[in-house]
Amino acid sequence: MSGAEKIKVRVTDIVPLNELVTRFRFEPVDGGLLPTFSGGAHTVVEMRDGDITRMNPYSLMSDPFDRSAYTISVRRDDEGRGGSKFMHSSVNVGDEMVLSNPVNLFSLDLRAKKHLMIAGGIGITPFLAQIKQLDRAHGNWELHYACRSEALGSYVDYLTTTHPNDVHVYYDDQNQAIDLDTLLDGQPLGTHIYVCGPKGMIDWVRGKAEEMGWPREAVHYEEFLAPQPGKPFEVKLAISNKVIQVGEQESLLEAIERAGVDAPYLCRGGACGQCETDVVEADGDIHHRDHWLEDDEKASNTKIMPCVSRFEGKTLVLDR
Amino acid sequence: MSTFEFPPSIKSRPVWGTLEARPGKHHLMIADAAGAAAILGIATPDLMANTHIIYIPRGADHADALRALTPAQFYEGPSYAAAESRIQRVLQDAHMGLQVYLTGTEGLMGQARHLAMQAGIPHTAIQTEHRGSVARRMQCVHCKGITEDVETDPFVCSHCGLNLFVRDHYSRRLAAYQGVCIDAEDPGNIPEAKGIYE
């Protein structure tokens, strides 16, 4: 079976934080202890919605050393394929669910002398766990958190109360913005940047850091891509000798799994590279949406990341 | 131009690069002897306006040429050991956006790279270019003493006197190659010393 090990959990608490974000707490069904994790890790939540099984990654935001429960915060996306809406409307306290073991694609580099965190919106969640981890180790960090408004500023009160000197909040609707030039200028040698938020914010921070001579290795980012719906298409799986149909609302990876073919995956969000699949034949256009493949690999149409990418054209044959 | 093509070896052996001017707020260039030529090769007035050069001539005659580049700061020192506390101080006060360029002998680049890594710069972000002597900084794995500028294999440890075989096994932490006793099994049976790359 692909992916990380699975854990059976029960939903023990659901707390709506604001109009868009709700927090869920999971405890193991067997009453034991959960695996510990490191700040920045995510879990893949399996959602059984009738005939559809969705598996969406969410950053763990609880204390990494608290093995009694995991918590995640889910932002409702009305335009998406329904995973977050399912969490918001169909999950109740007492429900049993399946999570994956934690996987970390956004870990702290503990060699850093200072950790400079930049969050946008729901991108705050991995930092909540990282801050708990760093506080235990007496780490040197500061957080710059941009959100749309006070009403939508998840965890702002908690953060500014517990860390009044290290947390800086910026509200879009009050025309407050992170002054990135000033922020990145004069940081002590050995500072690492961590950015989690919308793609535009990640590109902005990475671009500015590169321009100012920050090493690539000192800039860490995480952006989960939710698979986007798209036109249905047909795929031939060469090794399993199957022809499958990918529906409008499902990802290529989900369609491969639905056909009973075991395909590797980890993040299901175009970031980790586990699901990379060779293209045997492609007569048409692959819509590459991941940020794993290099630009030349994308242009060559010889590889595809089935968790987020789609196809439009006559024939697509995969080495799977 | 004194450049040397190192023969292919084990993974542990450092691979030195070629310096290029990179965007940055400040630039720290550390060179010894023939390394001066690599700095002269990338110097522009704009780059030099924000550059601190630390140069250890070791008998070479390039200090005036470097000084003529009019870098923001120029220091000429008699030895790496004499310059080390200055390098440490520069790194301690430095900010992100600093670019580090190391050029010259492997001993100089390795030791300065170790300091830069300790200061928090990822080792892959530190630029290097080998110039000049191919002599090695060696650590005796037996007594742990360091012998500088080793040109022959085998050689005699300058601390404990053992006859040491020159390995390509390198330590970034020590900035040295490992030297292992060559006649432990059969004391006195020592091959004739020859140049390391002969």
Q: Going from the N-terminus, what domains does chain A have, and what CATH number goes with each?
A: 6-100 (2.40.30.10), 114-222 (3.40.50.80), 233-318 (3.10.20.30)
Cα–Cα dist A299/A287, whole Å = 10
Residues 18-77 of B with CB under 8 A from A: 22-25
Per-residue confidence (pLDDT) for residue A80, from 0 to 100: 80
Q: Which residues of B touch A111 (CB under 8 A)?
A: 120
Task: Name the residue of chain A whose CA is nearest to B127's CA.
Answer: A215
Tokens of residue A100, six digits = 């994956």
Residue A151 near residue A18, CB atoms below 8 Å: yes
Q: Which residues of A touch B94 (CB under 8 A)?
A: 189
Tokens of residue A219, six digits = 């800039």
Per-residue confidence (pLDDT) for residue A119, from 0 to 100: 98
Q: State pLDDT tens for residues A1-49.
A: 677 789 999 999 999 999 999 999 999 999 999 999 999 999 999 999 8
Min distance B154 CA to chain A CA atoms (Å): 37
Residue A205 near residue A195, CB atoms below 8 Å: yes
Q: Which residues of A touch B23 (CB under 8 A)?
A: 210-213
Per-residue confidence (pLDDT) for residue A81, from 0 to 100: 80
ipTM of the complex as predicted: 0.89
Per-residue confidence (pLDDT) for residue A36, from 0 to 100: 95
Strand partners, A317: A236, A281
Per-residue confidence (pLDDT) for residue A79, from 0 to 100: 83
Per-residue confidence (pLDDT) for residue B2, from 0 to 100: 58
CATH code for the domain defined by B26-130: 3.40.50.80
Cα A119 versus chain centre, distance: 13
Per-residue confidence (pLDDT) for residue A249, from 0 to 100: 84
Cα–Cα dist A277/A250, whole Å = 18
**What are A's interface residues with B at a Cβ cutoff of 8 A?**
111-113, 184-191, 210-218
Query: How many CB contacts within 8 angstroms connect chain A with chain B?
Result: 56
Per-residue confidence (pLDDT) for residue B34, from 0 to 100: 97
Single out the residue of A186, A192, A184, A179 nearest to residue A209, CA to CA: A184
* pLDDT surpasses 90 at A101: yes
DSSP string spanning A114-177?
EEEEEEEGGGGHHHHHHHHHHHHTT--EEEEEEES-STT-TTHHHHHHH-TTTEEEEEGGGT--
Once rounded to an integer, what is the mean pLDDT over residues A187-201? 96
Per-residue confidence (pLDDT) for residue A1, from 0 to 100: 61
- Contact at CB, B25 and A213, closer than 8 angstroms: yes
At which residue do the structure tokens 């099994």 appear?
Answer: B185
Per-residue confidence (pLDDT) for residue A114, from 0 to 100: 98
* C-alpha to C-alpha distances, A216 to A58, A114, B122, B154, nearest whole angstrom: 25, 16, 9, 41
- Contact at CB, A188 and B97, closer than 8 angstroms: no
Nearest to A189 among B22, B23, B119 (CB): B119
Q: Is A238 left (phi over 0), alpha (psi -120 to 50) or beta?
A: alpha
Q: State pLDDT tens for residues A255-264.
A: 999 899 999 9
* pLDDT surpasses 90 at A54: no
Q: State pLDDT tens for residues A107-134.
A: 999 999 999 999 999 999 999 999 999 9
At which residue do the structure tokens 């200061």 appear?
Answer: B119
Query: Is B166 part of the contact surface with chain A (CB cutoff 8 Å)?
Result: no
Cα–Cα dist B68/B1, whole Å = 19
Domain boundaries, chain B: 26-130, 136-195
Residue ranges, chain B, pLDDT below 50: none
